[in-house]
């Protein structure tokens, strides 16, 4: 099972902001983290990640800087800003709404059948 | 497009050195994309290296790891497209004058260029005001400023170009000598303010000196036909930029005059004595610098205009020819008519030159080339009719400097266009290569320069300073 492209794109911003909320990071690490968290089910490409990071930077949700950590390569690190944290909170609120609504709809299979009969009964 | 770093058979990169070579190759590949800037390329390279390291740790050989990592990164086309979606401005705003190109070497170079340009532009603006120290004013000494005007600006543009090309001392010496010759020609003959020769010098000296600028432009490779073609392109773009700067300058002047008059100060003296002359001479240098700075970055404008106007001019000339045949009317040859038809030939030549300059020399002949042939041939027929009429006139009434100059130019342009028409015909019939036409045009450039010098240097004494 692979998550569809639309859903990946829609969840991209909160996911990146959420990862950066744990601490600054760089592109490759972010991509690996997303892979870990989703067991490889989320099909993220570099073409999605880097332009997204640049857009978030343009909107002021993240800041970037080139840093050289001793013993490693020079890397472009991204850090979440206050406005990014606010955006993350807003996105979380929206996603919570969506998720709880979906959960309410998708109870267990028995319930689905029960729910499906109700409107019919109501119409009759 | 295939992914870079595919095995090319030449190297078998087992060790870290081979891997670095592959990274180098990949970096070059990425840097060619306008959508991806240097920092993006570095960021992606870091990503690629992270991926390679992980794959090597998982047991792959370095070259295998590189291939897999590049493959995972996805096609560059797709990657560029995604970057372009976020950074669409990069496809537009590629003319970065100074700084911000995120490439320190380019930054440095463009900053040095900017400084040199400002020095030259300020030099031009100062030099045009220097004669004022000796009591020459723009209002009363028109006979001094008119023929000398080009001498206050073109040497500065030539200096800028020579500096940029690191011209050799021999070339610089020749340029200095030619500018000095121009200064002599403009000032040594005592011409009356209303003499025809003064007007002719005023028109022809800038042309002669422009070819000295051309010498500066091609100074890194004097005999190269390609470089001369570049100079033709440079001329067209420079002209377009100069006109645009002039329009902007007009708006600036209008606002300056208007706003100051609103508070009861009359800036007209300042505008006519300072803003206008200094602005014009500096604008020539700025236009030249702009063309150099934006070269190959933005679509050139002159060829675009050519494409637009070649069909229209062809239609107009053909209509004119048909009208002549239809009404059997002779051309009424006044002096103005000769100049008008000279200018017509110049426009036709310009249309021809700028479509040559933007054409892919290897492309096969197409509809546009036939259209061009029709344009040139109809211009030639019209011009022969005009020449016929004018020679009769001259043999009847004798000649003046104006008529001689106009006639000479007509003959020069006619010769060029006639041979061009022959070459275009050969090209359309696939007998001669396109390069022949290009070589003919670039080889002809010294003829214009030579004629302009003849008019400036020899005409006044020839015609008794009339």
Query: Complex ipTM, two decimals?
Result: 0.74
Sign of the alpha-carbon torsion through B213, B218, B219, B220: positive
Residues in A touching B26 (Cβ below 8 Å) = none
Domains of chain A, by residue range, sit at 5-123
Sign of the alpha-carbon torsion through B199, B200, B203, B206: negative
Per-residue pLDDT, B331:
67
Per-residue pLDDT, B172:
92
Per-residue pLDDT, A80:
93
Split at pLDDT 50, 70, 90, the class of A116 is low
For residue B301, what are the CA distances in angstroms to B47, B76, B96, B207, B239? 40, 30, 18, 22, 10
Per-residue pLDDT, B404:
83
Separation of alpha carbons B382 and B338, rounded Å: 12
Residues in A touching B74 (Cβ below 8 Å) = 45-47
Separation of alpha carbons A119 and B51, rounded Å: 53
DSSP character string of chain A: ----HHHHHHHHHHHHHHHHHTS-EEHHHHHHHHHHHTTT-S---HHHHHHHHHHHHHHTSEEEEEEE-TTS-EEEEEEE-HHHHHHHHHHHHHHHHHHHHHHHH---HHHHHHHHHHHHHHH-
Residues in B touching A75 (Cβ below 8 Å) = 46
Looking at domain A5-123, which of 1.10.357.10, 3.40.190.10, 1.10.10.10, 1.25.40.10 is its CATH number? Answer: 1.10.10.10
DSSP character for B191? -
Average pLDDT, chain B: 82
- Judged by a CB distance cut-off of 8 A, whether residue B74 touches chain A is yes
- Asked if A84 and A23 touch (Cβ cutoff 8 Å), the reply is no
- Asked if B37 and A51 touch (Cβ cutoff 8 Å), the reply is no
DSSP character for B12? -
Per-residue pLDDT, B131:
83
Per-residue pLDDT, B237:
87
Distance of CA B107 to the CA centre of its chain: 24
Residues in A touching B43 (Cβ below 8 Å) = 27, 50, 76
Tens-digit pLDDT profile for residues B105-156? 767 777 888 899 999 999 999 988 888 887 776 666 777 888 888 889 999 9
- Asked if A85 and A23 touch (Cβ cutoff 8 Å), the reply is no
Q: Which of residues 84-143 of B touch A (CB under 8 A)?
A: 85-87
Q: What pTM was estimated for this model as a whole? A: 0.69
Per-residue pLDDT, B433:
84
Split at pLDDT 50, 70, 90, the class of A48 is confident
DSSP character for B272? I
Residues in chain B: 466
Per-residue pLDDT, A70:
79
Per-residue pLDDT, B9:
38
Most B CBs within 10 Å, among A33, A43, A46, to test the B interface: A46
Separation of alpha carbons B389 and B403, rounded Å: 13
Given a cut of 50, the residues of chain B with pLDDT beneath it are 1-13, 95, 98-99
């Amino acid at each position: 099972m692979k998550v569809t492209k639309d859903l990946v794109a829609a969840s991209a911003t909160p996911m990146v902001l959420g990862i950066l909320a744990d601490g600054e990071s760089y592109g490759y690490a972010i991509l690996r983290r997303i892979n870990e968290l989703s067991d490889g089910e989320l099909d993220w490409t570099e073409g999605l990640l880097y332009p997204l990071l640049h857009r978030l930077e343009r909107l002021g949700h993240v800041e970037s800087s080139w840093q050289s950590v001793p013993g490693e390569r020079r890397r472009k690190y991204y850090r979440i800003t206050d406005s990014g944290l606010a955006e993350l909170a807003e996105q979380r609120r929206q996603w919570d709404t969506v998720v709880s609504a979906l959960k309410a709809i998708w109870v267990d299979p028995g319930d689905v059948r029960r729910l499906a009969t109700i409107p019919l009964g109501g119409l009759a | 497009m295939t992914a870079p770093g595919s095995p090319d058979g030449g190297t078998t990169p087992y060790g870290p050195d081979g891997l670095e070579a592959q990274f180098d190759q990949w970096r070059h590949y990425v840097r060619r994309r306008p959508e991806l800037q240097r920092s993006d390329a570095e960021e992606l390279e870091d990503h690629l290296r992270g991926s390679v390291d992980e794959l090597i740790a998982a047991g792959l050989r370095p070259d295998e790891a590189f291939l897999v990592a590049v493959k995972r990164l996805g096609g560059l086309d797709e990657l560029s497209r995604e970057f372009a979606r976020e950074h669409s401005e990069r496809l537009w705003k590629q003319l970065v004058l100074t700084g911000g190109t995120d490439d320190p070497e380019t930054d440095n170079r463009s900053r040095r260029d900017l400084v040199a340009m400002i020095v030259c532009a300020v030099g031009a603006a100062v030099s045009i005001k220097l004669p004022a120290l000796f009591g020459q004013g723009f209002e009363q000494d028109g006979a001094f400023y008119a023929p000398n005007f080009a001498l206050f600006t073109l040497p500065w543009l030539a200096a800028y170009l020579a500096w940029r090309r690191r011209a050799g001392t021999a070339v610089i010496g020749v340029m200095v000598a030619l500018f000095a010759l121009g200064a002599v020609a403009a000032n040594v003959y005592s011409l009356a303010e209303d003499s025809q020769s003064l007007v002719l010098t005023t028109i022809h000296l800038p042309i002669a000196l422009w070819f000295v600028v051309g010498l500066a432009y091609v100074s890194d490779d004097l005999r190269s036909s390609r470089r001369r073609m570049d100079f033709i392109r440079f001329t067209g773009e420079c002209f377009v930029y100069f006109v645009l700067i002039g329009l902007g300058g007009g708006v600036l002047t209008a606002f300056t005059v208007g706003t100051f008059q609103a508070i009861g100060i009359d800036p007209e003296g300042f505008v006519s004595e300072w803003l206008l002359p200094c602005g014009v001479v500096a604008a020539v240098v700025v236009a030249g610098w702009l063309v150099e700075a934006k070269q190959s970055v933005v679509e050139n404008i002159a060829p675009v205009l050519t494409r637009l106007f070649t069909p229209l001019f062809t239609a107009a000339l053909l209509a004119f020819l048909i009208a002549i045949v239809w009404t059997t009317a002779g051309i009424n040859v006044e002096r103005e008519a000769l100049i008008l038809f000279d200018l017509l030939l110049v426009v036709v030549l310009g249309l021809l030159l700028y479509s040559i300059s933007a054409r892919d020399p290897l492309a096969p002949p197409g509809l546009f080339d036939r259209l061009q042939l029709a344009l040139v041939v109809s211009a030639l027929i019209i011009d022969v009719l005009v020449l016929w009429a004018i020679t009769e006139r001259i043999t009847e009434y004798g000649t003046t400097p104006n008529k001689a100059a106009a006639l000479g130019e007509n003959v020069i342009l006619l010769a060029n266009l006639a041979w061009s028409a022959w070459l275009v015909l050969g090209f359309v019939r696939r007998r001669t290569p396109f390069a022949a036409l290009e070589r003919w045009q670039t080889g002809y450039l010294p003829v214009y320069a030579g004629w302009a010098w003849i008019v400036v240097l020899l005409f006044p004494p020839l015609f008794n300073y009339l």
